[in-house]
Amino acid sequence: MHLIHSVREAQARSDALRAAGRRLAVVPTMGCLHAGHRSLVDEAHRRADAVWLTIFVNPTQFGPDEDFERYPRTLEADLACCREAGVDAVFLPPVEELYPDGAQTWVEVAELTRPLCGRDRPGHFRGVTTVVAKLLLATRPDLAVFGEKDFQQLAVIRRLARDLPLGVEIVGAPIVREADGVALSSRNALLDPETRREARVLSRALEAAERAVAAGERRRAALLRVVAQELEKAPRARVDYAELRDPERLEPATELLTGPTLLALAVVFAADGGPVRLIDNRVLTPHPSAEDRPCS
């Protein structure tokens, strides 16, 4: 497994793969790898001849009061995980390699970054889209794999790849959960035992909404009440948002759900080491009512 630290070497190795007719997939990460990341690598292996993973804790997507310094960094364990997963190369750029002295160029996606995580985290998605563009330009892959847990991020990156001629296919991979339903996340490592138990409330809220939809509930307000009632069961939790939105445009859902609808959650837990923000989501698919069905 190769360790790559410079953009120049990454581009040279990628160009050599293309010249040899091999298809390259890249899995961008911020490290602290877990089984969810492993699922992304497995998906990349199914679609490409060579798989690279990037590890870079991107400073520009963290706000001044967020957890950049506390974000878990487990490089040796990450590299062992990559070797076990059959990763061909890991791109480990230092900050100055992606943000050289005096850097002043940013990549932004406009409307998709305004709601949900973008509303209360100014500059977050500008940092995400800028670093993703830099990583894709550095590694020059045929495709890149991202997890659906970060649903808005995936939608934003897909828009980025459509709007700019990067020549990269963006692939989304399903959420991987622990046995109790908690979505795998690097930030789970920051939870103390009590908040880890409370973290189950996110998946339980999603499941409650899904059961309500399966039972025929289609009213947006009623579904959000179901979600709120479940989230209230976690005393250490503060709800950042719980919203129903169109899964492609991320616009607010209509008062009566008529098709697949994203239920997106973000909850901040008061953990012993400081606040920990977790996100989760599910696409709800309501059954058509009698008035929606075409006449025979």
Average pLDDT over residues 7-25: 98
The pTM (predicted TM-score) of the whole model is: 0.94
pLDDT score recorded for residue 108 = 97
168-178 per-position pLDDT tens digit: 999 999 999 99
Write down all domains in the chain, each with its CATH number in brackets. 2-173 (3.40.50.620), 186-284 (3.30.1300.10)
pLDDT score recorded for residue 290 = 45
Average pLDDT over residues 52-64: 96
141-168 per-position pLDDT tens digit: 999 999 999 999 999 999 999 999 999 9
Report the distance separating Cα 146 and Cα 28, nearest Å.
7
What residues are labeled active site? 37
Average pLDDT of the chain, as a whole number: 96
Report the distance separating Cα 124 and Cα 126, nearest Å.
5
43 pLDDT higher than 70: yes
295 pLDDT higher than 50: no
CB 157 within 8 A of CB 146: yes
86 pLDDT higher than 50: yes
pLDDT band for position 289 (cuts 50, 70, 90): low
pLDDT band for position 287 (cuts 50, 70, 90): confident
User: Where are any strands of DSSP class E within the chain?
Assistant: 2-4, 24-29, 50-55, 89-91, 143-147, 169-173, 237-245, 261-271, 274-284
List Cβ neighbours of 26 (8 Å cut-off, separation of 6 or more): 44, 51, 52, 53, 54, 91, 135, 136, 139, 141, 143, 144, 145
pLDDT score recorded for residue 8 = 98
117-138 per-position pLDDT tens digit: 999 899 999 999 999 999 999 9
203-247 per-position pLDDT tens digit: 999 999 999 999 999 999 999 999 999 999 999 999 999 999 999
